[in-house]
Amino acid sequence: MATHRFDPDFTDNVIKSMGPQTPERFREIMTSLIRHVHDFARETNLTVDEWMAGVKMMNWAGQMSDDKRNEGQLLCDVIGLESLVDEITYKLAQEAEDTPTATAILGPFFRPDTKWRQNGDNVVEGVKGGEMVFMHGRVIDFVTKKPLVNATVEMWEASTNGLYEQQDPEQVEHNLRGRFRTDEEGKYSYYCLRPTPYPVPDDGPAGKVLKLMDRHPFRPAHIHIIATYDGYKPLTTQIFDSKDPYLTNDSVFAVKDSLVVDFVPREGDTQAGLELEYDIKLVPNESKANRV
C-alpha cells in the first residue's frame, strides 16, 4: 500500500522492536510477516470483530488438533499455502549443490518404515469397491534416458473410503503402500487401486472457511510416489487421474499439469481391468535441470 490512513511509522516501529539477539532468519521472516499482516489489515479496513472471528478460528483449529489430525495445517492447505511452500522447498532443494533430502515435503501419510515388496506384487488387501490397476514403468536418467537399475520406488495411496491405512483401524498395516526396486531393465511394477477422490475433513474451521468460500472439500484422486537413486536428486510427487472431476479444483491446490496421468483398459489380466504406464525421470545431482 502506498498510502496508510494511519500512523505511517507504526509497522516500522513494530519491526524495529526486535532486539539484537533475534536470529537472522527469524528476523527476516517476522519482518515480512508483520509487514504483510499489517498491510492486509489496512487494505481491508479489518475491524476488531472481524479480527476476533479469525482469532477464534485459529484457536479452534488448535483445539481440534492432536497426534492424528492437524487442523492448523489444513487451514493453510485450503488457501494454497502448503502447496506453495512445498514448491519453494522443492526448488531450493533442487538448486542446492548438496541436494538435501526432501523429507520435509513427504506429506502427513508417508511412513519411513514402508515395507519392501517384489515387482508385480499387489499392495491392495481387503478393500471394498474400487478398480484394480497394474501400474508399471521404468526409472530413467532425465538427461541420457538410460534406465536406472536398483532404483527405489515407493508408493502410497488412500483407500476407497478416503483414508490412509494409519488413519483407518479397518485396514491391515501397510495396506496400499509399498517400496520396490527396479530390475535389470530399470523396471518397476505393482498392482494398486485406481485412486478415488476424497474430501478433506470439513467439521472444523477449515471446513467452515471452505463453506464460506463456496467451495467443496474434495481432493482429486492421486497416488504418492518417491523415487531415489544414488547420485540423483530424489523425486517426491503425486500423480493424478486425468478423468477425475476435481482435477481443476483441488481443495488444497496440489495438482500440476505435468502430474496428470491416463489409466487405460487392460486386457487379459484377471488381477486388474486397468493399466497405468508411468516412467519416472531422475535428474543427476550435478545437473542444473529443475524438477521434472
Residues 98-117 that bind a second copy (CB under 8 A): 104-105
- Establish if 96 lies at the interface with a second copy (CB under 8 A): no
- Measured from the CB atom, the residue of 8 and 169 that comes closer to a second copy is 8
Which residues, listed in sequence order, are joined to residue 265 by a DSSP beta bridge?
A: 274
- Measured from the CB atom, the residue of 102 and 227 that comes closer to a second copy is 102
- Establish if 88 lies at the interface with a second copy (CB under 8 A): yes
- Establish if 126 lies at the interface with a second copy (CB under 8 A): no
Q: Which of 3, 8, 61, 225 binds a second copy (CB under 8 A)?
A: 61
Q: Tell me which DSSP letter residue 162 carries.
A: S
Q: How many CB atoms lie within 10 A of CB 45?
A: 8
Least distance (Å) between residue 217 CB and a second copy: 12
Least distance (Å) between residue 39 CB and a second copy: 6
- Measured from the CB atom, the residue of 37 and 143 that comes closer to a second copy is 37
Contact 278, 227 (CB under 8 A): no
Q: Which of 241, 236, 234 is nearest to 219 (CA)?
A: 241
Instruction: For residues 275 and 15, give the distance between their C-alpha atoms in angstroms, rounded to a whole number.
Output: 56
Determine the size of the site formed for a second copy (CB under 8 A).
Answer: 76
Least distance (Å) between residue 238 CB and a second copy: 15
Q: Which of residues 142-201 bind a second copy (CB under 8 A)?
A: none
Residue 166, amino acid: Q
Q: Tell me which DSSP letter residue 221 carries.
A: P
Instruction: Candidates 9-17, 126-134, 160-168, 275-283: pick the segment binding a second copy (CB under 8 A).
Output: 9-17
- Establish if 261 lies at the interface with a second copy (CB under 8 A): no
The helix or strand, by DSSP H or E, that contains position 280, with its residue range, turns out to be: strand 280-282
Our measurement of the distance from residue 76's CA atom to the centroid of its chain's CA atoms, rounded to an integer in Å, reads 13
- Measured from the CB atom, the residue of 194 and 219 that comes closer to a second copy is 219
Instruction: Candidates 36-44, 130-138, 168-176, 238-246: pick the segment binding a second copy (CB under 8 A).
Output: 36-44
- Measured from the CB atom, the residue of 190 and 246 that comes closer to a second copy is 246
Q: What are phi and psi of 30, to 5 degrees?
A: -65, -35
Instruction: For residues 187 and 174, give the distance between their C-alpha atoms in angstroms, rounded to a whole number.
Output: 22
Show Cβ contacts of residue 41 under 8 Å, excluding neighbours closer than 6 positions.
51
- Establish if 213 lies at the interface with a second copy (CB under 8 A): yes
- Establish if 230 lies at the interface with a second copy (CB under 8 A): no
- Measured from the CB atom, the residue of 118 and 249 that comes closer to a second copy is 249
Q: Tell me which DSSP letter residue 35 carries.
A: H
Contact 148, 141 (CB under 8 A): yes
The cell numbers describing 264, all together, are: 487405460
Q: Which of 242, 249, 258, 285 binds a second copy (CB under 8 A)?
A: 249
- Establish if 91 lies at the interface with a second copy (CB under 8 A): yes
Least distance (Å) between residue 211 CB and a second copy: 9
Contact 186, 153 (CB under 8 A): no
